[in-house]
C-alpha cells in the first residue's frame, strides 16, 4: 500500500461529514433517498480505494450511533469506497451517461448486499422509509425476501442515480490544479492533456 498523503488524510473526514450531513438531511426531510454515499464516492474516486473505504466505514459507524440498525450496512459503504476507485481507473466518471450507468450498477450491487442483511437480521424492517414498501408487499401476501428485494432495489435505484449524478457534477467542477495533487487525479485529467 502506498503512503497516504496529507491532502488525502484531510479529505477523509470531509467525505465522512458530507455523508453524515447528506444522510441526516434525507432523514430529516423524510426523503426516499439515503444521500449518505456522496463523500465515499468522491474520496474513493479521487484518492483511492483505501481512503474511500475509510470514509464508508467512518460514516457507517457514525450513523449507527443514532440508528444502530444501520451498523451491518457499513460493509456496503466500505465496498463503495473501493468500487469508486475502480470506476475512476476505468474512466467511468467522465460523462453524464456513465453516471447513469454507474448509478444503476451500484444500486444493483448495493441491493444484492443489503437484501440478505435486511431480510435475515431484521425480517425486512430496518426502520427507514423503505420498510413501508416491505410492509405493504408482505400484507399483500409476498414473502420477506421478494418484498425486501423490491423495496431495497427501488430505494437504491433512486438514491444511487441521484447521488452519482451529483458526484459526476462535483468531480467535473473540481479544478485541475487541485485534482492533479490527488492519487487518482490523473484519471480525471486525461481529457485535458
Summarize pLDDT for 69-85 with one digit per residue, the tens: 889 999 999 999 999 99
How much is the average pLDDT of 129-157?
A: 90
**Could you give the percent of the chain with pLDDT greater than 70?**
95
**Could you give the percent of the chain with pLDDT greater than 90?**
76
Asked whether the predicted pLDDT for residue 192 surpasses 50, the reply is no
Q: Which of 96, 84, 86 is nearest to 166 (CA)?
A: 96
98 by DSSP, 3-state: which? helix
Q: How many whole angstroms separate alpha carbon 120 and alpha carbon 35?
A: 24
Instruction: Please give the distance of CA 141 from its chain centroid, rounded to a whole number.
Output: 31
Asked whether the predicted pLDDT for residue 131 surpasses 80, the reply is no
160 with 36: CB under 8 angstroms?
A: no
Q: Using pLDDT thresholds of 50, 70 and 90, give the confidence band for residue 190.
A: low
95 φ, ψ (degrees, to nearest 5) = -145, 160
Is the full-model pTM beyond 0.85?
yes
How much is the average pLDDT of 74-98?
A: 97
Q: How many CB atoms lie within 10 A of CB 10?
A: 10
Alpha carbon distances (Å) from 130 to 10, 14, 36, 96? 34, 28, 15, 27
19-46 confidence digits (pLDDT tens): 999 988 988 887 778 899 999 999 999 9
115-127 confidence digits (pLDDT tens): 999 999 988 887 6
How much is the average pLDDT of 82-101?
A: 97
Residues 6+ apart with CB under 8 A from 55: 12, 15, 16, 19, 39, 40, 43, 44, 77, 81
Q: Using pLDDT thresholds of 50, 70 and 90, give the confidence band for residue 130.
A: confident
Q: How many CB atoms lie within 10 A of CB 123?
A: 12
Q: How many whole angstroms separate alpha carbon 29 and alpha carbon 152?
A: 19
Asked whether the predicted pLDDT for residue 64 surpasses 50, the reply is yes
Amino acid at each position: 500500500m502506498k503512503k497516504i498523503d496529507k491532502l488525502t488524510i484531510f479529505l477523509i473526514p470531509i467525505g465522512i461529514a458530507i455523508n453524515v450531513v447528506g444522510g441526516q438531511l434525507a432523514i430529516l426531510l423524510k426523503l426516499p433517498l439515503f444521500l449518505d454515499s456522496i463523500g465515499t464516492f468522491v474520496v474513493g474516486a479521487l484518492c483511492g480505494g483505501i481512503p474511500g473505504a475509510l470514509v464508508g466505514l467512518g460514516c457507517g459507524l457514525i450513523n449507527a450511533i443514532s440508528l444502530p440498525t444501520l451498523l451491518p450496512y457499513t460493509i456496503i459503504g466500505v465496498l463503495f469506497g473501493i468500487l469508486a476507485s475502480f470506476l475512476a481507473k476505468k474512466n467511468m466518471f467522465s460523462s453524464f451517461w456513465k453516471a447513469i450507468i454507474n448509478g444503476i450498477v451500484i444500486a444493483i450491487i448495493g441491493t444484492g448486499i443489503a437484501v440478505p442483511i435486511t431480510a435475515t437480521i431484521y425480517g425486512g424492517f430496518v426502520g427507514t422509509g423503505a420498510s413501508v414498501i416491505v410492509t405493504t408487499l408482505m400484507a399483500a401476501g409476498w414473502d420477506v425476501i421478494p418484498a425486501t428485494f423490491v423495496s431495497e432495489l427501488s430505494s437504491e435505484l433512486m438514491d444511487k442515480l441521484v447521488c452519482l449524478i451529483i458526484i459526476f457534477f462535483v468531480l467535473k467542477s473540481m479544478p485541475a490544479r487541485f485534482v492533479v495533487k490527488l492519487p487518482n487525479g490523473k484519471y480525471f485529467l486525461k481529457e485535458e492533456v
